[in-house]
């Protein structure tokens, strides 16, 4: 457990604040008296966010920035100093995803996901550490995912990026404790946002959108509770907590369920492959024993 803190008066930067969880969190924090700096790539969406904001004793400022750009990361630092004189809480929320099996994806897809979800997060954290060391009850809040605890088929690259965030967060927590900085991680389950519509690619045959239960506003409320209480690591939604429980204590069962699900969605291809294999012609070698005739290029 980290330190307890009050939301009112905190200077908070939120990345990816123009939509979904980030947007809901910016509005909720400002409404509770925090001084919020909302960062995102879309200027029109940030303008809309500013118009909707009705801070309850707090303030909401915006800065157009991309976490993958070194210049933009520095722009966020300068905006935090200009508007609020420093920073108390960094919320790393910006992220992208994709679905589809790894073997069918391009190398660029993995690199794009890691660039935003991991490198963007770590380098944003790096540039803000000096400000956070001088902050009031400072904290780094990383918005991760339940797939950081169990790799989800059809979401291998996204899972990998969130596993990386989990490992980074746990190591960094020990490193910056001497500076009085808490490192907190919130892992939402499937949430009702535009995240799936904004994916780089959406090719997974295992559809999960119908399971999206929590609203962005509910997640935002849980994030603020975690920040107030200094809870290091929380998992959201019943399905998410159940998945983490099964993965931790019954790993063979979790793996078996995942494999069975993949086999179900690929059953036609598996059946076709089996038929093709069964129909391969056989010939006899000089000693009279049957052997399978193979293409000089291998199977098929």
Per-residue model confidence as pLDDT tens digits over 122-171? 999 999 999 999 999 999 999 999 888 877 778 889 999 999 999 999 99
pLDDT digits (tens, 9 = 90+) for 23-33: 999 999 999 99
Q: Where are the domains of the chain?
A: 11-237, 250-281
pLDDT digits (tens, 9 = 90+) for 147-159: 888 777 788 899 9
- The reply to whether 158 belongs to the active site is yes
- The reply to whether 18 belongs to the active site is yes
Among candidate residues 18, 169, 216, 226, the one labeled active-site is 18
Radius of gyration of the chain from its Cα atoms, rounded to whole angstroms: 24
- The reply to whether 203 belongs to the active site is no
CATH of domain 11-237: 3.40.50.720
The better pLDDT of the pair 253, 282 is held by 253
pTM: 0.79
> What is the structure's pLDDT at 102?
86
CA distances from 36 to 88, 117, 199 (A): 10, 22, 27
CA dihedral 199, 203, 206, 209 (to 10 degrees): 30
Among candidate residues 53, 149, 158, 169, the one labeled active-site is 158
- The reply to whether 50 belongs to the active site is no
Count the alpha carbons within 13 Å of 295 in the hemisphere toward its beta carbon: 6
Displacement of CA 36 from its chain's centroid (Å): 21
Among candidate residues 53, 144, 145, 226, the one labeled active-site is 144
Among candidate residues 162, 169, 204, 226, the one labeled active-site is 162
Q: What percent of the chain has pLDDT over 90?
A: 57
> What is the structure's pLDDT at 58?
79
């Amino acid at each position: 457990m980290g330190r307890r803190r009050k939301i009112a008066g905190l200077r908070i930067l939120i990345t990816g604040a123009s939509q979904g969880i980030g947007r809901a969190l910016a509005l909720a924090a400002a409404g509770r008296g925090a001084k919020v700096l909302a960062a995102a790539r879309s200027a029109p969406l940030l303008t809309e966010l500013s118009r909707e904001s009705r801070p309850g004793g707090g303030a909401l400022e915006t800065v157009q920035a991309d976490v993958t750009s070194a210049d933009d990361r520095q722009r966020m630092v300068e905006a935090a100093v200009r508007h609020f004189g420093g920073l108390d809480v960094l919320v790393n929320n910006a992220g992208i995803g994709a679905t589809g099996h790894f073997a069918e994806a391009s190398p660029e897809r993995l690199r794009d996901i890691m660039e935003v979800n991991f490198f963007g997060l770590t380098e944003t954290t790096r540039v803000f550490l000096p400000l956070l060391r001088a902050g009031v009850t400072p904290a780094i809040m990383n918005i991760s995912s339940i797939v950081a605890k169990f790799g989800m088929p059809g979401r291998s690259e996204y899972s990998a990026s969130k596993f990386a965030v989990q490992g980074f967060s746990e190591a960094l927590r020990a490193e910056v404790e001497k500076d009085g900085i808490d490192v907190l991680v919130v892992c939402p389950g499937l949430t009702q946002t535009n995240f799936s519509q904004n994916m780089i690619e959406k090719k997974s045959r295992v559809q999960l959108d119908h399971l999206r239960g929590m609203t962005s506003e509910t997640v935002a409320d849980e994030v603020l509770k975690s920040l107030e209480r200094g809870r290091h690591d929380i998992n959201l939604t019943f399905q998410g907590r159940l998945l983490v429980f099964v993965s931790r204590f019954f790993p063979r069962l979790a793996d078996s369920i995942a494999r069975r699900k993949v086999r179900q969605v690929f059953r036609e291809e598996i059946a076709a492959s089996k038929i093709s294999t069964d129909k391969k012609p056989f010939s006899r070698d000089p000693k009279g024993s049957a052997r399978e005739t193979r293409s000089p290029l291998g199977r098929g």
